[in-house]
A and B are shown apart, each in its own frame.
Chain A
Amino acid sequence: MPVHIIVAIKQVMDPEIPPSAFTIAENAKEVVSPSNIPPVINGYDEQAIEAALRIKETVEEATITVVSIGSNFSLDVMKKPLSMGADELILVDTGDIGNDPDSNIAAYLLTSAIRKIGSFDLILCGRQASDWDNAQVPVGVASMLKVPIITVGRKVEITAKNVRVERVLPNGYELVESNLPAVVTLSSELGEPRYPTLRGIMAATKKQPILWSLNDLSIDEDLPTSNLTINTITTPEKQNECTIIEGENGQEAGKNLALKLREAKLI
């Protein structure tokens, strides 16, 4: 039996941008992505793609469909899963509504897209998106599709009927099992996602992402209402004065630091 894995990825602002490039709109209600720094695929979602590719290596036949809900997609950025080895990529442009602070909306849109894709055995997601760090959309998708969810995985294995996940715990891990189909979220402990090979990049240039809009999602019921209203978004202020400890050389500076900490009764 061929296995169908759906991986949900989100395009986000690069979390490594320097704080000086981090800006908030004048209305103080949204964060503005700097125009000179390209967005990225949410880090944990690359781990989800990697997990899918590792599963593909262990089963006889598997198809990996990558899907993303968003707007202003950067095709260069979002095509990466194809060059890593995914089979198809669906980008659903839903305009502003996909950015609602209420995860219900994104979960609903993603679920609608997954229903349109059709049957699946496994849905892989990141543990959280690095913009709002909500860790909610995958739970919403599992709930709407009425399938089990296992979160914060570092290893995923499937058999004909089951999925087994090593979940990261603060001091170790636990092995959790559920029936398929299921949703699993991945964490960085899975390990580095693979780099696209030259062959992969060549193959990907021949594949085009499938572009859907809101209309393609055949949303028959009304969208869930948003329960969360943003009042303000601000940047936290820092007014710390750091005393830089000097010395003739590094060795001396280290020694002086220890003396300073003793003087301040910190050690």
Chain B
Amino acid sequence: MANCQNILVIGELTEGSLSSTTKELLTVGRNLADSLQEDLNVVLLGENLSQYTSDLLFFGTDTIYLAQHSLLEDYQDDLYVEAITQLAASTNPRSILLGKTLTGKELGPRLAFKLGTSLLQDCIHLAIDTNKNLVGKRPIYGGNALAEITHIGTPQLAIVRPKTIEVSVQEQKGKGNINEYVPELSDSMIQARTIEKVDEPVSGVRLEDARIVVSGGRGLGGPEPFRDLEDLASLLGGATGASRAACDAGWIPSSYQVGLTGKTITPDLYITVGISGASQHMAGCSGAKIIVSINKDSEANIFKDSAFGVVGDWKEVLPGFIDQIKSMTNAS
């Protein structure tokens, strides 16, 4: 417990730059560090990392750790856990923050057990209490409830849900130390090996980046209506999504799934057709600015989250909707 004086953010790179989730973690990390009057540190793992330091400095980081090793070039659970554990042993973080990303979801629980501590999963808000403990708010029961939990262990590990924190740049604040360190790693630490990665690419606009998303659910009744939704999405320059029920039924690949265990989207406009609005679905689209729904059940939950809706059978409503949009897009 001696000398815990910093918050450590586990940084990530996507497509050659700092991930948006890392920027969110640095923003919340800086606020937590300020209320503790302690340091905000960040670690990047991989190779050739020095090019990213200037970006990291924008967020008021005090010490940037560059964990460089040829074995860290591609993400691997066991090696990343080992490298972070070694860093934590020498820098004694009070708290470690990760994003709820593909890799964060693997690292978080593994680090918790390796470091002998516990994990605050899926936080949408973090604060420090008067005992200097980390307090997280997180959805539970798929989003039907919200729990506020205090972490009283050491270190205090938390996973933060992406797109729940507004990024702010803090140019002046950090000490700006840069510390290159080489973790001691060997190939024999790998317990599970990736043999092959297979991409099942989605054509058109990426669901996560789309300004407009059109999603279908179990109410569509089969795979064919998804063609209409895809046409509609491309008319609007958007992407197609789906509920888990539609994916599980095999009507559309699981890469289209929006929700707690699917993709998180933050479009300006989200149009749902035949989706009931279960909290697990809404967990992936609560960042949408405007939700518009077509559902035949006026009591459907989805209307509680929607700004506009039509109560009716999509078989009747959708053709009228699409025709009108076609004539408007042709006219303009």
| A pairs with B | yes
- Given the interface pairs A135-B121, A228-B150, A245-B310, the reply to whether A240 lies near B191 with Cβ below 8 Å is no
> Considering the complex, which residues of chain A in the window 222-267 have a beta carbon less than 8 Å from any beta carbon of chain B?
226-236, 238, 240-245, 247, 249-255, 257-262, 264, 266-267
Contact A135 B105 (CB under 8 A): yes
Chain A residues closer than 8 Å to B318, beta-carbon distance: 254
In the complex, which of the residues B109, B195, B280 contacts A15, with contact meaning CB atoms closer than 8 Å?
B280
Chain B residues closer than 8 Å to A16, beta-carbon distance: 278
Identify which of A1-9, A77-85, A114-122, A175-183 touches chain B: A175-183
Cα separation A15 to B313 with both chains bound (whole Å): 26
Say yes or no: is B152 at the interface (Cβ < 8 Å to chain A): yes
> Considering the complex, which residues of chain A in the window 145-163 have a beta carbon less than 8 Å from any beta carbon of chain B?
148-151
How many chain B residues touch A (CB < 8 A): the figure is: 86
Contact A176 B193 (CB under 8 A): yes
Chain A residues closer than 8 Å to B279, beta-carbon distance: 19
Say yes or no: is A220 at the interface (Cβ < 8 Å to chain B): no
The residue on B at minimum CB distance from A167 is B194
- Given the interface pairs A139-B110, A177-B193, the reply to whether A233 lies near B118 with Cβ below 8 Å is no
The residue on A at minimum CB distance from B208 is A170
In the complex, which of the residues B191, B244, B263, B328 contacts A188, with contact meaning CB atoms closer than 8 Å?
B244
Cα separation A136 to B260 with both chains bound (whole Å): 16
Cα separation A166 to B108 with both chains bound (whole Å): 21
- Given the interface pairs A172-B200, A253-B320, the reply to whether A236 lies near B143 with Cβ below 8 Å is yes
Chain A residues closer than 8 Å to B309, beta-carbon distance: 242-245
Contact A31 B119 (CB under 8 A): no
Cα separation A89 to B105 with both chains bound (whole Å): 30
Contact A255 B192 (CB under 8 A): no
Contact A255 B195 (CB under 8 A): no
Say yes or no: is B212 at the interface (Cβ < 8 Å to chain A): yes
Contact A150 B192 (CB under 8 A): yes
Contact A251 B319 (CB under 8 A): yes
Cα separation A76 to B117 with both chains bound (whole Å): 36
Q: A22-B144, A267-B212 are in contact. List 17 more A-B contacts (CB 8 A).
A: A130-B141, A139-B110, A140-B109, A143-B114, A173-B198, A174-B197, A227-B153, A232-B147, A240-B307, A243-B309, A244-B308, A253-B312, A254-B312, A254-B322, A257-B310, A257-B317, A261-B292
